[in-house]
Structure formats: structure tokens, C-alpha cells
Amino acid sequence: MKKEIPIFNLNGEKIATESVNVPAEKPNMDVIHRYVVAFLANQRQGTASTKTRGEVSGSGRKPWRQKGTGRARVGSIRTPIWRHGGIVFGPKPREYSQCLPEKMKKLALRDTLRTTMIDDGLILIDVKEGINNPKTKIFSEFLKKAGLSQVKVLVVVDNKFEQKDAVIRCIRNIENVSYCYAEQINPYLILTHDKIVAQRAVFPLLRKFCAGEENV
């Protein structure tokens, strides 16, 4: 399937298109699901911790004698059923990270990118002329003219672009708009945004990702 990817300038005007061949294949949902699960697991710090009855402060002395007081028998003030006592089966620091084969990562990225292109979820923006006075209004107006002001947008920035910092300054304060460098794009970012706006210079790399030729 041949898709035409529109190219806009910062004024929201369509100036050209890029062609890409996208095979009309069903995405491998099992691989994509496994990638998302592993990605979210790898974001967890695993630092949650609670104290057992052997770690909380307090004496180990028996509070009162076993019989004759009329109260329930108890052997320690650090027992889990008491206030300030230890926690039973509470969380301890652990490692949640998961490893996936490189082939699965490439397949997940390829299928999510292909689906985005087929659904017209990718547009390109040409900022070759540069941004002399970076302001949020510049990109905000572009989103309005391109009809993207009400959706979640991921902006893919060219890491080699000299004025990449100026581009980011125009983006970072807009609600529902995130950004990443082309080398950082991944299936989770693609799935959690409605539209992708990529700099024109990174399209060859996205095309390679779509073909499954680059490592993730």
C-alpha cells in the first residue's frame, strides 16, 4: 500500500508530500502487548519497602504476664496486629525489569509505525528556515491550523538539527503535546498519542523503522 505523508510548514500550509510503501499486514498484537508490559515494568523503580516485626522499633519484652490480667495474651508490642507493629507480607525492594529480544522490539516498533501511517496518524513538518524567536505561540498556532489542537500529539525532533533547542522551547509548554528525539521513539509513545508530528529530516529514519531495518 502506497501512502502519501503530508508535509507542512510552520504556518500550517501543506507544501509537499513524501511517499512510502506500507504493507497492508495485520499488526502482531501479542508482540505489541508484550512490549508495552515490559516497557511499563522497566519504568518501575521497585523501591517500595515496609518493615517486618523484626525491623520496627520497640522492645521485645512481653508487655504483661500470660494469665490473670483479663486481657488478651500477647508476646510483643511489635506484633503485626498492634498499631506501629510490623507489616506482614509487605513490599520489599525488588527488580521489575523485563528483557525482550531485539527482534520483538523491532517488530513492535515496525507494526505500530505502519498502523499509524495507514491511519493517517503521521505528518511531517519542515522547519528548515529555522526559528529566530522561539515562542509557544508559534507551535500552538501551527497545531490549530493543522487541526491538531484537540488531540494528543507526539513531536519527533531531529537530534542533529542546529535549532533543536528552539523547537523544544516552542513545544514544551503546550498541553497534550510531548516530544522525543527520533532515536527515542518507541511503540509505547506511538500508542499513547493520537498523532505524530515529525521533522522532515527524520523521515528517512522512520522509514527504516517501518521497514524493520534499525535497532530500537
For CA atoms 112, 162, 125, 180, the dihedral sign is positive
Nearest to 58 by CA among 93, 92, 83: 83
pLDDT tens digits for 177-201?
Answer: 999 999 999 999 999 999 999 999 9
Coil, helix or strand at residue 153: strand
pTM greater than 0.95: no
Instruction: Please check the confidence at residue 214 and state whether its pLDDT lies above 70.
Output: no
- The residue type at 170: C
pLDDT tens digits for 93-133?
Answer: 999 999 999 999 999 999 999 999 999 999 999 987 668 88
State the Cα–Cα distance between residues 110 and 108, nearest whole angstrom. 5
Give me the pLDDT at residue 129, please.
Answer: 67
Contact 153, 143 (CB under 8 A): yes
DSSP 55-116: TSSS--S-SS-SSSSSSPP-S-TT-TTSTT---SS------------HHHHHHHHHHHHHHH
* Domains of the chain listed by start with CATH number: 2-30+100-211 (3.40.1370.10), 45-95 (no CATH)
Give me the pLDDT at residue 83, please.
Answer: 93
- The residue type at 3: K
